[in-house]
Chain A
Amino acid sequence: MYKLAMHRLGHSALLIFGVVTVIFFTNFLLGDPVRVMLPASTPPEAVEEFRRQMGFDRPILVQYWDFISHAVFLDFGDSWWQKSPSLEIALRPFPATLQLGIVAVALASILGIGIGLFAGARPGSLWDKLATSLSILGVSLPLIWFTLMMALIFSVWLGILPTAGYGTAAHMVLPVVTLAALPLGRTVQITRASIIDELAKPYITTAHSKGLSERTIILRHALRNALPPIATEIGWESALLLTGYSIIVESVYGWPGFGFALYHAILTRDMPVIIAMAFVAAMVVVFINVIVDIIYVIADPTIRKK
């Protein structure tokens, strides 16, 4: 168990280091920082002068070493547009997204596992067909369109929810619902599939012959064994929610969160901020992986002995 944990820790450190490195090189090799920072009308001599002053004329590996030796002390440099540390800028919008993300993931997990169990326990029934159809609908939704349609229906036509903004619980409804739709569909599909697989196994027959109730069999035995793939899926969706879905949802609903800030940083090519945000995202991925690992251990105690 201890060895396994250390192995995972090393893996996580490598992941964070790798993500930051990849984002550094895509930014600095594919784009010219000087051309981003100066207006196009700057005379060429001034451009070269500036390049030298900023140290962008040094070999890329030297720049990388300079960057990484500061980054290990959590210094990612200052933002090019806002004169404050990039990590600060990357972390400032984070709580707002966490607020949405936690509610959305909780909603998708509880509803998704519930519906998936219900459908998987009765394959072929009317309820199962309904759940399967809705889950396919959920994973087919184009988020860029769905967010706008929800705003049109609930804010413009019905007028019961605010179009955009931040503050009250009412402002959270549309972002949460749109963020949860896709993960919900996926969770229903994966829960249903794994519970059907589990229910076909011999230990379920044993449980039946022992006279256990249907409820106990599904909730205490089948679900526990079906949990690992479900946890992996939800973890995966949570990571995607932070760096993918949130960009769309927060832009459309004007939610001052991580996705919104990330998109802004990418549009303005603010490289230090992009790298700092990649670092934050990688940390979150690692944190999610730890939670998924804990769920694995809870579901399967034999891991503890390894």
Chain B
Amino acid sequence: MNMSKTASTTPGRPIRSVGRILRFLSDFSRDKYATVALVVFVVLVLSSIFANLVAPHDPLKLDLLNRLAPPVWVEGGSWKYIFGTDLLGRDILSRCIYGGRMSLGIGFAVILIGGTFGSLMGLLAGYLGGRFDAVLMRYIDFQISIPYFLLALTIMAAIGPGTKNLIIVLSIGSWPLFARYARSIMMSLRQQVFIEAARVAGGKEIVIMTRHVLPNILSPLVTLTSLELSRIVLTEATMSYLGMGVRAPTPAWGLMVQEAHDYLMIANWAVTTPGVFIMITTLSINIFATRLRISTDPLQRGKH
């Protein structure tokens, strides 16, 4: 990062004007890794949303004469099924595109539920302090030390697999992180000089919250959200792979890996392709989040 370009944004000062946002965007676009990662991620999200327009085939349509057809670059492959077909002759590319709808959809739903609830609780705890804060933090400490997978798998086994149940279980696992983070930011912000100054100047609480506090917690929250999204995509894939998540025949990446698991030796593309889709998703999110932290956290700037 170029220090001289960004030095004017001193730590702790809110990003307020449009000019600042534009400067941030131009800073960010200069970072080619971050830009590529963001573009890749946006393409994945768009192709998931418009899966019905982008996917070449129906993801559920069987073509039993073309079972386990290899991808186009392998001998015997054809352009009809670019990434080949699975055991039931379903188009792998189409299933991966629709699978993204499932995996990313679940990811965003969990972020929306767990993130909103967690952030609110955390902000409230940091703002109110006192007993509410103490009880909440105690509970979170406890929940974080429970072996998460064990609990999640047990609940899923008891209430039965399915997308809705999976979203609930993943949200329960996700909110404490947001609460902790939002609280710690709130705590440190309360002691910042500019908040004190705004209060002394007679600013109303609500104005202080929305104009001064919110812009400051936004970028760390975006970073946390991205990292959490990548973790949720991985967890969702694992749960579906273990038969405790999305149910067949709905296409989901983890489920596709599981379905093709036994045919790894004769049709590795049926495992490889959905795995690569997961990998591209988590990589693009992680690269984006890491670079975003560097370009928005002034204290991190000199370090790269």
Contact = CB atoms under 8 A, between A and B. Distances in A.
Interface stretch (B86-94, B147-155, B178-186): B147-155
B283 interface: yes
Chief secondary structure at chain B's binding surface: helix
Interface string A28-64: 0011000000000000000000000000000000000
Contact of B149 (A27, A139, A243): A243
Interface in B249-304: 253-254, 257-258, 261, 264-265, 268, 271-272, 274-276, 278-279, 282-283, 285-287, 290, 303-304
A174 B254 CA distance: 21
Interface residues of B, number: 45
Nearest to A192: B303
A140 B147 contact: no
A156 B237 CA distance: 24
A263 interface: yes
Interface in A112-163: 123-124, 132, 136-137, 139-146, 148-149, 151-152, 156
In this complex, which of B157, B272, B282 has the most chain A Cβ atoms within 10 angstroms of its Cβ? Answer: B157
Contacts of B254: 142, 144
A148 B150 contact: no
B148 A244 contact: yes
Nearest to B304: A124
A26 B154 contact: yes
Contact of B282 (A23, A142, A156): A142
Interface string A272-303: 00100110011001000100000000000000
A267 B157 contact: yes
Contacts of B149: 240, 243-244, 247
A22 B148 CA distance: 12
Contacts of B271: 145, 148-149, 152
A221 interface: no
Interface residues of A, number: 47
A196 interface: yes
B303 A123 contact: yes
Contacts of B153: 247, 262-263, 266
Contacts of A18: 142, 146
Nearest to A246: B149
Contacts of B244: 266
Given A22-B146, A139-B286, A263-B242, A144 B157 contact: no
A19 interface: yes
Contacts of B287: 136
A136 B238 contact: no
Interface in A230-268: 239-240, 242-244, 247-248, 262-263, 266-267
A8 interface: no
Contact of B241 (A123, A136, A239, A248): A248
B279 A142 contact: yes
A27 B154 contact: yes
Interface in A13-28: 15, 18-19, 22-23, 26-27
A162 B283 CA distance: 29
Interface string B19-52: 0000000000000000000000000000000000
A182 to B, nearest CB: 9
A92 B241 CA distance: 26
A140 B286 contact: yes
A106 B254 CA distance: 29
Contact of B237 (A123, A144, A274): A144
Contacts of B159: 30-31
Nearest to A268: B157
Contacts of B283: 136-137, 140
A8 to B, nearest CB: 12
Contact of B145 (A23, A151, A285): A285
Nearest to B290: A136
B238 A248 contact: yes
18 contacts: A15-B145, A18-B142, A22-B151, A23-B151, A26-B155, A139-B282, A140-B230, A140-B282, A142-B254, A142-B279, A144-B258, A149-B271, A239-B147, A242-B147, A243-B150, A247-B149, A262-B153, A266-B244
Q: For the complex of A and B, list the 10 residue pairs with the smallest distance between their C-beta atoms, beginning with the closest.
A: A145-B275, A30-B158, A243-B147, A140-B282, A31-B158, A244-B149, A142-B278, A144-B241, A140-B283, A281-B147
